[in-house]
Each structure stands twice: as C-alpha cells, then as structure tokens.
Amino acid sequence: MIRQRYRLKHKIGDALYGSVCACEDTYNDNELVAIKQVSLELATTLLAVHPNADNPWHERRAITKLLALPPHPNIVHFHQEFLHNESWFVVMEHCPEGDLWDRVRGSPNGRVPEREALRLFRQVTLGLHFLHTNGIAHRDVSLENVLLRDGVCKLSDFGLATDAERTCADTVGKANYMAPEVVAGEVYAPVAADMWSLGIVLFILLTGSPLVYRASEKDNDFVAFLQLGVRRVVKAWNMASFISEDACKFVSTLLQRDPSQRLMTPDLLSHPLLN
C-alpha cells in the first residue's frame, strides 16, 4: 500500500528508530508529505536499555487521539498512521522550513527580536493549549520540536506524550528544558512541567541561549537564577537594552520553581503581551 500510494522524493533525516522521508502522495495530487518510519524491533531493544527515551507506543496513542480531532494550525497535521512489516509509519504534513532552533540560529545576533519572539511564542502556546485541552501533555516542548511551515509554528514529536491528567515520575525531555521537579525525580504534573519548558522556549527565543544546562539545585547557574530572577539574569548577560521588563516578567510567570505558581495556557493567551 505504501509503495502504491507514496512516491519517495528524498530523505529528510534520521529519527531515533528509523528515518523521515519526503514523499509525494499520488492519491492526493502529488501533495508533498513527510513519512516517518519507526522500526518497532529497534524501539523495543533501545527502550529495554533506555526506558525514558521516546516511546513510539506512547506517540501512537497521542497521534491516534489527534487524528480523531479537527486539525489545529499549530500542531503538525497527521494524515494517517499504520503498521507494515514490523514498522510503524506516520504520514504527516511536510514542514520544509526547519524548526524554531534553526530560526533562532539564523537570526541576526543569534536571537529573535522581542516582538517577533512573542508572535512565534503565541503560536506555540496555542498549539500546547489545544493539546492540554484535549487531554494530552507533551513532555518534550522545545525549540527543536516546533516545526515551521509558511512561517507558522507547529508542535511536533509526541514520543514522550502522556495523559494530561496523570501524575508522572520519569525523568524525560531535553536537559535544558526540563522542569526542576522533573530533574529532581519528584512526582510531577506533566501539564505544569510543559509550562516550564514553554517558558524556556520563550527565554531562548529572546536571548538565544538556554537559561541553565539543567534546572537542578546542584547546578550553580540554576541556584543563581532562583536568587536573581529573569530580569537580573538578562541584565547580567548585557541584554536588558533589547528585552523589555514586561517580557522578563512574562517569562518569570512560567519559570517558577513551584509548579502550582506557573501560569497555564489560558492565562498566557489572555495576557496583554500576547494580544
């Protein structure tokens, strides 16, 4: 079925358990799509050694849920998913403009101007709000997992996604973006952990650099951040002239050590800075 319908154009890149290719959908006017192939045998082997790695079975559950919902402009659109010859295939929209990290690296001075950063951030927040509203916590929100198509941000990569209502204890995600409670190995609410990661996304858009390597009490930079706060970190980095005090306060509402003190997506979307 896959060879009958999809014509290979080129390989986009390697994935953890397989590869992603650009293909033409011959059943749909040769529309260009991205197809991810996941070797379930390889995934089983690697997860036995690294249980906190991306899990294609978790991803499949999230994607199946998304396929049953109306598409959202700030979530990568999935066309279909299926099993074939011990592999899992996911057909999704093709996003040829790379990810938000590419966008940051390609910007003058290696950071995104505040107004543009807030515009992009609002789109990511809308996508995350859609997930949370529909019972999905992402758990790997990062610049690298936000793809761009026609200048529009689209959250992708659901390999660590979980039920938004459950409590978690596994230490998952990218080191720079992990919430302190996740790093500490505490039991945590995944939606609140997503909000910390979202705050790091905005911080990197504005500054071009992660706040800390890891939000751990053993990390001197993190301890200093807890004492200083966002505004004073920005001043110490000599960036106060192009990041406003309002933007610093806004980021601070997400980068709270206490998860219960973080703003949630509805609060962000009604905030004056995003409107």
Catalytic residue among 54, 99, 140, 157: 140
Kindly state the greatest CA–CA separation across the chain. 60
Q: 23: part of which helix (H) or strand (E)?
A: strand 18-25
Spatial separation of the C-alpha atoms in residues 99 and 154, rounded to whole Å = 9
267 is catalytic: no
SS3 of 134, please? Answer: coil
**Distance separating the N- and C-terminal Cα atoms of the chain:** 46
Q: What is the DSSP letter of 81?
A: E
- Nearest-CA neighbor of 190 among 214, 212, 169? 169
Q: With the C-alpha atoms ordered 147, 178, 221, 264, is the resulting torsion angle positive or negative?
A: positive
β-strands 78-84, 18-25: how paired? unpaired
Tokens of 73: 């402009």
- Paired strand residues for 83: 88
Tokens of 167: 């409590």
Spatial separation of the C-alpha atoms in residues 216 and 219, rounded to whole Å = 5
> Which residues participate in catalysis according to the annotation?
140
